[in-house]
Amino acid sequence: MVILALVAQLYVDASGVSGVLGIVARGGIPLAAILMPAGFFLSSMGNGRTRPNALIWLVYAGSVSLAAGAVSLGLGLITA
């Protein structure tokens, strides 16, 4: 996921995307690289845990962030 975020940064710079689309494209994928692993690890903490706790929402937030970043990067590349 981190390599995807680094490659996406190169594409955002090359396409010259700016404004809200650029902010989402530049920040969405790296944010997902932080949120998704954090959700997996933090939701399974505790002794004898067989079900995830409430921090599983971090995984879903990361997937939304990844989708928004990828879509905005795609739109930026198409319009460039």
What would the pLDDT profile of 6-50 be if each residue is shown by its tens digit? 999 999 999 888 899 999 999 999 999 999 999 999 999 988 888
Per-residue HEC secondary structure of the chain comes to: CHHHHHHHHHHHHHHCCCHHHHHHHHHHHHHHHHHHHHHHHHCCCCCCCCCCCHHHHHHHHHHHHHHHHHHHHHHHHHHC
- Which structural domain, as residue segments, surrounds residue 67? 2-79
**With 80 as the cut, is the pLDDT of residue 80 above it?**
no
Name the pTM for this structure. Answer: 0.89
Q: How many domains does the chain have?
A: 1
Q: For residue range 59-79, list pLDDT tens digits in order.
A: 999 999 999 999 999 999 998
Closest CA to 22 of 33, 36, 8: 8
